[in-house]
Amino acid sequence: MRENAANPAAEPIRVTVWGENVHEQKHQAVRDIYPNGMHNCIADGLREAGSDVFDVRTATLQEPEHGLTKNVLEKTDVLIWWGHAAHKEVADEIVNRVQARVLEGMGLIVLHSGHFSKIFKRLMGTPCSLCWREAGEKERVWVCNPGHPIAQGIDRFFEIANEEMYGEPFAIPAPDEQIFISWFEGGEVFRSGCTWKRGNGKIFYFRPGHEVYPTYHDENVKRVLKNAARWARPEGSRWIDSCPNIPVEKAPEHIAAKGGSVH
């Protein structure tokens, strides 16, 4: 993290948008909506904020190390994750690496079907299961905390005309903050915007974004992602994970005099 990371204005927030990039290659219907891939559409949405706010790159499953090399992650303040069909193809080594960076302080925004990604399940410790239906129904995303940075510029709710339904129960640990809850035309509800902190990393799960709908072209969705990327930026210094032995000789004299353990 840079010296001035506490001052988000000084330098742009470095965002990496990770896309699984599978549906776009296989389905013409998805390609029609996202001709450059979903990851590029998401990245372009962030870029609308200006290059002084975000410095955005993309990475995909198919690149070496899925595009998430040590060097890339070192230079990433916030990672956005979209995956669906190929969660199992993500190498455990890369998952370990991303988890470690989150704990150090990198923000993580998990989108839609990313609820079942290895990295999200790893950080939650729970199955992250839910119920679902694909019927292109209307979703109303309600704001639970109108003053939260992630909800800035959003009215009481916004609607997405056609989306996949996700319904409760959502098998997650209790969120630190509930930002959005969705109402679905078919009768279900879902905790669509949730935050947690793990180590120093801020995590935001955001529900919308099924691949056959133009969700990431939606103005409200783009705004939420911009807000969330700003919110999730590192604020402190890195937490370097370690388990140090504190030498006896540094302990007060009456302790040191006892000497070490027999073990």
Contacts (CB under 8 A) with its own copies, residues 43-62: none
> Nearest distance from residue 246's CB to its own copies, in Å?
4
Rg, C-alpha atoms of the chain: 20
Phi, psi at 61, each rounded to 5° = -50, -40
> Nearest distance from residue 236's CB to its own copies, in Å?
4
Cα–Cα distance list, 245 to 10, 96, 240, 260, 262 (Å): 38, 24, 15, 12, 16
- CA dihedral sign of residues 46, 18, 218, 157: negative
Both tokens of residue 208?
């919308």
Range 138-177, binding its own copies (CB under 8 A): 140, 142-149, 151-152, 156, 164-165, 167-171, 173-177
Out of 65, 122, 214, 220, name the contact with its own copies by CB under 8 A. Answer: 122
Asked if 40 and 16 touch (Cβ cutoff 8 Å), the reply is no
> Nearest distance from residue 120's CB to its own copies, in Å?
10
For its own copies, give the closer residue by CB, 67 or 193: 193
* Residue 25 in the binding site for its own copies (CB under 8 A): no
User: CA 132, 88, 239 angle in degrees (round to 5)?
Assistant: 100
Out of 62, 65, 198, 214, name the contact with its own copies by CB under 8 A. Answer: 198
Give the whole-angstrom CA distance, residue 208 versus residue 157: 14
State whether residue 21 is helix, strand or coil.
coil
* Residue 91 in the binding site for its own copies (CB under 8 A): no
* Residue 251 in the binding site for its own copies (CB under 8 A): yes
> Nearest distance from residue 196's CB to its own copies, in Å?
8
State whether residue 164 is helix, strand or coil.
strand
Binding mask 214-243 for its own copies (x = CB under 8 A): ----------------xx---xxxxxxxxx
For its own copies, give the closer residue by CB, 71 or 245: 245
For its own copies, give the closer residue by CB, 117 or 182: 182
> Nearest distance from residue 64's CB to its own copies, in Å?
26
> Nearest distance from residue 232's CB to its own copies, in Å?
12
For its own copies, give the closer residue by CB, 64 or 260: 260
Q: Which residues, other chains included, contact 196 with Cβ-Cβ below 8 Å and sequence gap of 6+?
A: 123, 124, 173, 175, 176, 202, 203
